Amino acid sequence: MEHRTLQITAITALCLLWSGALVAQTTGRIDGWVFDAQGNSLPGVEVSVSSPSLLGSSNAISTVDGQFRLLNLPPGEYRLQAGLSGYQPLEISEVLVGLGKTVRLELELTRTFEEQMTVTAALPPAVDHASTTTGANFTENQFTQLPVDRSALSISFLAPGAAYGGLGGIPSIRGASSAENRYVIDGLDTTDAGIGVLGVDLVFEFIEEVEVKTGGYMAEYGGATGGIVNVITRSGSNQLRGSLFSYYWDTDLQATPLYYEERGLEPEDRKEYDFGFEVGG
């Protein structure tokens, strides 16, 4: 009996750990509808997407009402292809899937005797009509273009409703204190249980995307009365890639504060170094 109890306890603990790892969203999705030139739904259309962010490809078949869904897509830029016998294949490039976002597409296929349609331009930013969440998403391309520090916390201040809250570099979101947010990295809650701040911060070189939820988020993020900072790190893909980075700062690169000049003081001589690398494939 005691051995059986231990087995049940172990299984229960594993289930709790597994469910905890799936609390936060770490992917996005594409929902769509396929129709012909007359607006009739097309069933049986094979839809596939590929991306440097995705291992292999993701595929779906449209249903009798022409609907399709591509789930669990890592954030990134995708190329979509749709095809059905008797119809010209359709290709759309630069479909941007954000962290925790749903991209909705309407695909029109033309018959083989008509002109082939290929969309090569980027789609306009998609509005997720199925979500009540407010906030902002920041991709790795924006990290280097925005004048912020190199951490996930620093860029969270750019989300609407986020402001300085008096607790170091921790934002106050929608009027809540800085200690009332929740911080999630790759689906795992990293919030410091003692004071409610981010327990582990990451530099941009290891981050794929940062999602800041400022309101309207689902009950799966219970325990927060402020906002949610959801971070996804870089991972392997179909392409081998990597990068090196190094940073240097010392006192000579900064102007002498007026406080020191007025009193004839010299600021403390300081030097800071940071270097590293990342690789994936």
CATH number for position 152: 2.170.130.10
Helix residue ranges, H only, the chain: 2-21, 140-143, 152-156, 258-262
- Residue at 15 is within a domain: no
CATH code: domain of residue 88: 2.60.40.1120
State the pTM of this model: 0.64
pLDDT at 128 over 70: no
Task: Say if CB 169 and CB 184 are below 8 A apart.
Answer: no
Q: Where residue 116 falls among pLDDT bands split at 50, 70, 90?
A: low
Question: Tokens for 87?
Answer: 């119809």
Q: Is residue 9 part of a domain?
A: no
Looking at residue 114, what is its pLDDT?
56
The domain total for the chain is 3
Angle (CA) 185-133-159 rounded to 5° is 65
Q: Which residue has the higher pLDDT, 206 or 197?
A: 206
Judgement on whether residues 148 and 220 belong to the same structural domain of the protein: yes
Whether residue 83 contacts residue 45, with contact meaning beta carbons closer than 8 Å, is answered with yes
Domain assignment present for residue 103? The answer is yes
Q: Are strands 28-35 and 67-73 parallel, antiparallel or unpaired?
A: antiparallel
As given in the structure block, the two tokens for residue 27 are: 């992917």
Predicted confidence (pLDDT) per residue in 49-78, tens digit:
999 888 888 999 999 999 999 999 988 889
Considering the domain boundaries, does residue 3 fall inside one? no
CA–CA distance, 143 with 13 (Å, rounded to integer): 38
pLDDT for the residue numbered 62: 94
Containing structural domain, residue 262:
241-280
C-alpha–C-alpha distance, residues 112 and 93, integer Å: 21
